[in-house]
A and B are shown apart, each in its own frame.
Chain A
């Protein structure tokens, strides 16, 4: 495979949680996925993944202490494909009810709120996505019944409801995925969601690969022009 077909994806490693499985699942999807906190490598990557498990405040503190906040925000601002997973998704929001003192990355304006009382908390189970943005390239090929695995006590409530890409029913309607420009964020764990999850990560790898190819097209044609002139 050429570099364009096997895009470099930076999985931000801020020392919390099981980032190993996200990396392995992206490699299965065809990526050259690297666990990293190297700002240079993150800047060079075709796409960036922000994983996370545990507590919002602890994850934000770890992201900052490992110097990854600025590279993460730069990656979002660069327009390259960006994927947040679970607490990595929650960190993209402005704030979380889990830790009022902690501030998020504020990429997706809104609040991470507790799942309304009723069902068992956390939601630790598989659930079926209802796609509110079925045409999103990340949500193609997930099958007619995309069941995915959740472990969470809070969910994102964006200021602009139009950014919600998928929901699930859990006592009430819970937001499960978001799309804002180049950013896709999932509350569930695609790396633990068997075939639909691998399909979603495969979509991310393909989108990264296509973004790299179109980016590469310009300099290559210029080079040919230079040689022939």
Chain B
């Protein structure tokens, strides 16, 4: 039985959950441990904490948060944001995280994935990929001769020239046990996942794919699984401000014929 996971994502800075658009206009969305416990009760299958603290001065605050979550929340959770070295990964896993998510540092030095996988196992390593479509509308264009998706860094600001599908395959070869795929075109738009991107990646690798970026309705979550082939769906704002509960998300997904763990 293949079961799709529903994964609330919590952006954290200075020990608080925040939500904004493109890292500006951040709104306080609560205490990470309280929110995590609420999502557990609502039936969240897993949690992702993304440390968006700009300066490394506040890493201790994040490590402390990971400790507190691990002591009070008994579902798996991933910590990402600022994992640049094997030592960073070790610190978060020892603090109680089940997985770490790597992004920019892994693109800059892909061996990081292999190093973490060798010490802690592939199941601990999530490779986050932020991708943007080369041709915004998918139509032929003389300005953009090649279509496809390009990997971006730094929250979608820095292009790399790397093809997202090539990078996904490489990351898995290096030992990534899961891919967290975010469409930078869709992030914050609330018009749904980039289904084509999700499907292309999920058909290219044999590790679980978590779809992210663009969720505005609960039907979008279901589409990520049924049309995109994702194994898990990640969303932030629709859950934080109580527009929808995780339980509601699961009932919509179940109605679409997807097997989910009942909330």
Contacts and interface: CB of A to CB of B under 8 A. Distances in A.
Nearest to A124: B208
Given A145-B262, A149-B75, A120 B208 contact: yes
A183 interface: no
A181 interface: no
Contacts of A189: 76
Interface stretch (A18-26, A41-49, A72-80): A18-26
Among B5, B45, B74, find the residue whose CB has the most chain A CB atoms closer than 10 A: B74
Contacts of B71: 24
Nearest to B209: A120
B64 to A, nearest CB: 14
Interface residues of A, number: 33
Interface stretch (A100-108, A157-165, A190-198, A214-222): A190-198
A121 B177 CA distance: 9
A53 to B, nearest CB: 6
Nearest to A192: B76
Interface string A10-28: 0000000110110011001
A26 B231 CA distance: 30
Nearest to A87: B121
Nearest to B260: A126
A176 to B, nearest CB: 12
Contacts of B97: 18
Contact of B261 (A25, A124, A147, A191): A147
B98 A192 contact: yes
B9 interface: no
6 contacts: A125-B5, A125-B231, A149-B76, A170-B1, A189-B76, A193-B75
Q: Top 6 A-B pairs ranked by shortest CB distance?
A: A54-B121, A126-B261, A147-B261, A169-B1, A151-B123, A125-B3
